[in-house]
Structure 1
Amino acid sequence: MKELLYNLLHGSSTIVTPMDALQNMVIALILGVVVCITYRITYSGVAYSSKFNTALMMLSLITTMVMNILGTSLALSLGMVGALSIVRFRTAIKDPRDTTYIFWAISIGMGAGSSNYYIVIIGTLFIAATSIAFSFSFKKDNKYLVIVRGTNECIEAVRAALFSIYRPCKLRAETVTDDYTEIVYQIKLNNKDQLIDYENIKNIEGVSFVNMVARDGETLG
């Protein structure tokens, strides 16, 4: 029984040659660059992070290195699980799409590190093509929130200006105090010329400020 357990833990180990390790790392690097390019092309948010994009490529290389170390050794695999269990990752992932890229980078490292080249290359190219195709096939949502604050007397003029410029124009919130009134309308930009008309709302007498906020957090004001 002891001999069986020993062979199970140590007898299945496979030595990775330097050339195999280098080949795995090069393939992981190339596919990691594909992930970075795809992320940059398909990113549609406001605060693009080049550091996160670089981290994706590094994650592929690190996972490949870990797989090269483990090989097929069950003992090393159990030891790695124990070592990683004490590490806590507290980085907040705000966009669920970023999580998929993290799993993609890890999958590349696992595939390259285990020498499953065909699977990881075909999978990476297919995922990249699908991501880019879907990012261009769906049109960008041009809906914005217009936030206007001004005196109580000027708000009706602001409403009239908004309804004359934008269609549709829906009231989302309204705050009325003794000193000022703040209104929030949801509008849709049909052309770039409407941005010029939006600037004219600031010139209405009594208006304190005007902000235009996109759904992804981009602010124009």
Structure 2
Amino acid sequence: GLVLAFVRRKEGYDRSFFVTLVLLPLIIAIIILLVSNNIARAFSLAGVFTLVRFRTTISDTRDITFVFSTVAIGLAMGMGYITYAIIITAFIMGVLLLISFLKLDEVKDNNAKLKIIIPESLNYIGAFDDVFKMYTTYARLRKVKTTDFGTTFELTYIINMRNDVNQKLFLDAIRVINGNLNIILTQEFAERVIE
């Protein structure tokens, strides 16, 4: 999980997703060890996951990790493995503290979310490539949405700004292409990728 989290981290990511990628494989392995070859436990676990899936709104990827952690701890407690439950809890807390202490989930880059409104007549494929090459180290189109009854498109990019970039010049270069329509550059990208 840790290796995958570091590979994913290079592309621009949601920091809670990093924690999920690190912990989820460990938690799933613990649950599988607890269930082992017992069919009754497996069906009970399926029922629990079904209940959690349809009764819980997951807005943050870390939430599902904590739900699975709680299920693993509850499963160990319910089976009478109190020592295992304590060990599982301590292990998960240790991993979370290590991630926090080493600041592995922090983004050190200039990641941002960029929303650009363009007229419907503009072909958006490759339209901003030259600007992105000049001002960013990474740019990826994540979402295209029609707005104003189909007369405009809203493009959402995930970008990584170069360290020496003048944001005003960057936005001005985009405004020349998009006809001076709305542009939103959000720096809080590290917390949430796309709403």
TM-score category, normalised to shorter length:
0.3 to 0.5
Point out the structure with max Rg over C-alpha. Answer: 1
Bigger relative CO (Cα 8 Å, ≥ 6 apart): 2
TM-score (norm 1): 0.38
TM-score with structure 2 setting the length = 0.41
